[in-house]
Structure 1
Amino acid sequence: MSVVVATRDRRADLARSLPRHEGPVILVDNGSTDGTPEFVRRSFPDVTVVTAGRNLGAPARNLGVELATTPYVAFADDDSWWAPGALRRAAEVLDAHPRLAVLAARMLVGPEERLDPICTAMATAPLGTAPTLPGPAILGFLACGAVVRREAFLAAGGFDEVVFFQGEEERLALDLAAAGWGLAYVEEIVAHHHPSPVRDGSHRQALSARNAVLTAVLRRPWPMVARAVLHAVRAGKHSRRGLRDTLPRLPRALANRRRLPKAVETARRSLDLPRPSPAPID
């Protein structure tokens, strides 16, 4: 198991999180201007530092996965880390379930260790639990609390430049499911996330709206694209700004558009609509 961390201008967060990682760590720096690469090389000589030279967004993690020599890769952000023993147990679960491509962990947020709401949603198992998976089937995950099977991740293309950052997990999850891989929430595996104070909520809201539309264009039927656009229009000024920001990226999204297999689209739609859960994807 390797740990891949993507970072940009978060030296103080890394000082807190890097000592907590178990196993080899590959850090990909997205063009930091605060001296992060030099600080990490000096303070954590066992960490492999890769300098992208510019902000690659989520695809920076792809560089780390490509460099990893282990069959499994755990992702972490500069403000997150894995609980002691979690990655060893995650490797055992992946060994025991060869169809599993993504293991989504239970994410505890902040010093008070609140359960992330996304984990609550995943635990309800709206897609069921296939006998070949170690937990509820999912079609999305939090990258900073996920472990991936390296070969499956790379075959699916990793994270892409169209979405860039924020909500980048969905397109990858859909493509993995379309290729026949399983994704599951495994509650016994725990990761910790102490969100950095260096955050811009309005910018993230705009990115979320933009990327929901772009992901729909990349993989969903046109009525679902229209639904994503309408949601952005109704969600407020920041989401409408995100909708405008889709335009420069739209040609690349259209060029890479590919429809999902019917079973995967049906499962994905069930997460949006109040309807009975489908049978697990198997």
Structure 2
Amino acid sequence: MKPDAEFLFRLADAAAHESLPLFRVPLEVDDKGAAAFDPVTEADRRAEKAMRDLIAAEFPEHAVLGEEYGASGEGGSCWVLDPIDGTRAFISGIPVWGTLIGYMEDGRATMGLMDQPYTGERFWAADGAAWLDGPRGPSPLKVRDTQALSQANLFTTTPRLFKGSALDRFLALEGAVRQTRFGTDCYAFAMLAAGFVDLVVEPGLQPYDIVALVPIIEAAGGVITTFSGGRPEAGGDVIAAATPALHEAAMALLASD
């Protein structure tokens, strides 16, 4: 038996049961970064453990990769978990963090979910369709038909993540688009799928940062690859675009020589 969307929702509910009560309350923050601040909280740990326990009970043969507890198990079926993507936003009381739940078969992301329990929004994809379940009820996700960089809204976490010549290429892209906004982590990818953002570029991602978002972007009609045009499931430098034309134009500025 393979997992379905209903199991995605059960995992998200289990994570929200742990994370939501700890949002906007005094909370101890640990720093797991060696060179830069990389926060983690009890909410991250509890949420990931709750999801891992549920996977172990229902699909004990599946592998799991999570941000807080690493990799376990082997095989072609793998869950990729980020219990709180955007912990900096979480500890700042800003509701642009989300729980990322991705499912891969033989290295390819086939189902994904981004849950924001505080706002009551759940972005998900399964069986080739992408949906938003939110306060206004369920609605299909569809990217915007933006063809030109001059009409595009670009998001990235911060330009400080781009180093050396990569920063020059990012600044060239920023100069070509209509506007650039910063700092919304996984929420920017969700808004691209919903038709409000046109480009998201993020360097240095880990698999747990992106696997859940890949099926959502693709099922909504968007394009998501590495800066070199490869599949994004392994992370690295990732670009998501609303249309193939926009992806091609952005890639021409971002790709290294």
Considering fraction of residues, name the structure with more strand: 2
- Name which structure has the greater RCO, CA cutoff 8 Å, separation 6+: 1
Using the size of structure 2 for normalisation, the TM-score is: 0.28
Using the size of structure 1 for normalisation, the TM-score is: 0.27
Considering fraction of residues, name the structure with more helix: 1
Larger gyration radius, structure 1 or structure 2: 1
